[in-house]
């Protein structure tokens, strides 16, 4: 059977990245080492990751009528992503993320949503009419929650597999969770959903069980350099990731989720897909930038 396109709905940002030896304290001004500008946004990052792994991706987003929006759209199209459902808002600028990367690759991020904040259910009517074209839907939390809830209901109604990367961290309603096939939180995001702190495999297992009790079929909690904890009916346990020296962890989670979905969409078994997605994310953290860091399929498989 021919694999279907992936439907990814989410944010598009321009990332403004400042590198420094340490992070500034309250009221402190530091001199950074250098500055770079990248294409970002969790939705766009995941779309590019899936496309680089070989998937045909349809992307739904909203950008401003400005140079940032124009360049972001062009970049997505250069990655062979279908952007016909990306709206252009004439009133609100394209979203931006201010990213400070410190020594060792850790980051602190402030996102100004801009046009991402106006991606509402009214924008989604045309893509809902094409729902038969997709099996997997991928979303994150950098667009309005009413849009997340709307598409979760659509996924349930049309029996599509919704993969939700619940970032940035915030609570989710039982109704949204009940319509999710898979959740891919990190430790902080998992705690926001179930209320239990996650620090290791044991606590990740307890959190995953609580989340699955809400109706989520598969929970995958990313634990940074320690790998990921997978909880589903057929398997529960840690899947380690390759050991690397991190340069920039900005798009690690997005690379993981986008790559994972691409491999699942082509019929690769879950545990094998997780191993490959871990490898993709491990390569990404050794490079600077969000989408610029995402590897090609030939580097992963």
- Exposed, middle or buried, 26 (CB in 10 Å: 0-12/13-18/19+)? exposed
Residue ranges for the known binding site for substrate are 13-15, 41-45, 142, 254
How far apart CA 80 and CA 251 sit, in angstroms, is 20
- Report the pLDDT value the prediction gives residue 1, as an integer from 0 to 100: 47
Mean pLDDT, range 113-132, rounded to an integer: 96
Query: What is the DSSP code string of 257-275?
Result: HHHHHHHHHTT--HHHHHH
- Report the pLDDT value the prediction gives residue 2, as an integer from 0 to 100: 56
- Report the pLDDT value the prediction gives residue 269, as an integer from 0 to 100: 96
> Of 43, 146, 149, which Cα lies nearest the Cα of 87?
43
> Of 55, 73, 59, 53, which Cα lies nearest the Cα of 13?
73
- Report the pLDDT value the prediction gives residue 289, as an integer from 0 to 100: 82
Q: Is the pLDDT of residue 116 over 70?
A: yes
Query: What is the DSSP code string of 196-261?
Result: ----SHHHHHHHHHHHHTTT-SEEEEE-GGG-EEEESSS-EEEE-------S--TTHHHHHHHHHH
pLDDT above 90 as % of the chain: 89
Domain boundaries, the chain: 5-22+34-290
pLDDT in tens, 41-56: 999 999 999 999 999 9
Q: Is the pLDDT of residue 104 over 70?
A: yes
Token pair in block for residue 14: 């321009």
Residue ranges for the known binding site for K(+) are 248, 250, 284, 287, 289, 293
pLDDT in tens, 212-245: 999 999 999 999 889 999 999 999 999 999 999 9
- Report the pLDDT value the prediction gives residue 4, as an integer from 0 to 100: 87
C-beta of residue 15 within 8 angstroms of C-beta of residue 66: no
C-beta of residue 248 within 8 angstroms of C-beta of residue 288: yes
Residue ranges for the known binding site for ATP are 186, 222-227, 253-254, 278
Q: Could you confirm whether 200 is annotated as catalytic?
A: no
Mean pLDDT, range 37-44, rounded to an integer: 94
Mean pLDDT, the chain, integer: 95
Distance of CA 215 to the CA centre of its chain: 21
CATH homologous superfamily for the domain 5-22+34-290: Ribokinase (3.40.1190.20)
pLDDT in tens, 164-213: 999 999 999 999 999 999 999 999 999 999 999 999 999 999 999 999 99
Predicted confidence band at 111 (pLDDT cuts at 50, 70, 90)?
confident
């Amino acid at each position: 059977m021919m694999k279907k396109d992936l439907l990814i709905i989410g944010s598009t940002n321009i990332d403004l990245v400042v590198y420094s030896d340490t992070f500034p304290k309250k009221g402190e001004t530091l001199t950074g080492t250098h500055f770079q500008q990248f294409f970002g946004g969790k939705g766009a990052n995941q779309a590019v990751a899936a496309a680089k792994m070989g998937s045909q991706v349809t992307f739904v987003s909203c950008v401003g009528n400005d140079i940032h929006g124009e360049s972001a759209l062009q970049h997505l199209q250069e990655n062979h992503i279908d952007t016909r459902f990306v709206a252009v808002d004439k009133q609100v600028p394209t979203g931006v993320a201010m990213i400070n990367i410190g020594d060792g690759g850790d980051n602190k991020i402030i996102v100004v949503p801009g046009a991402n904040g106006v991606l509402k259910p009214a924008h989604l009517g045309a893509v809902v009419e094409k729902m038969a074209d997709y099996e997997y839907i991928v979303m994150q939390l950098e667009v309005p929650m009413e849009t997340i809830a709307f598409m979760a209901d659509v996924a349930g109604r049309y029996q599509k597999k919704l993969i939700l990367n619940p970032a940035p961290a915030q609570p989710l309603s039982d109704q949204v969770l009940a319509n999710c096939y898979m959740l891919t939180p990190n430790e902080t995001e998992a705690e926001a959903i179930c209320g239990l702190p996650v620090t290791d495999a044991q606590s990740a297992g307890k959190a995953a069980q609580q989340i699955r009790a809400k109706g989520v079929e598969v929970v995958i909690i990313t634990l940074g350099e320690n790998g990921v904890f997978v909880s589903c009916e057929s398997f529960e346990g840690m899947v380690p990731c390759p050991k690397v020296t991190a340069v920039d962890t900005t798009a690690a989670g997005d690379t993981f989720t986008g790559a994972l979905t691409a491999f699942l969409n082509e019929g690769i078994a879950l545990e094998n897909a997780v191993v490959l997605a871990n490898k993709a994310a491990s390569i990404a953290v050794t490079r600077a930038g969000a989408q610029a860091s995402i590897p090609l399929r030939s580097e992963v498989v």
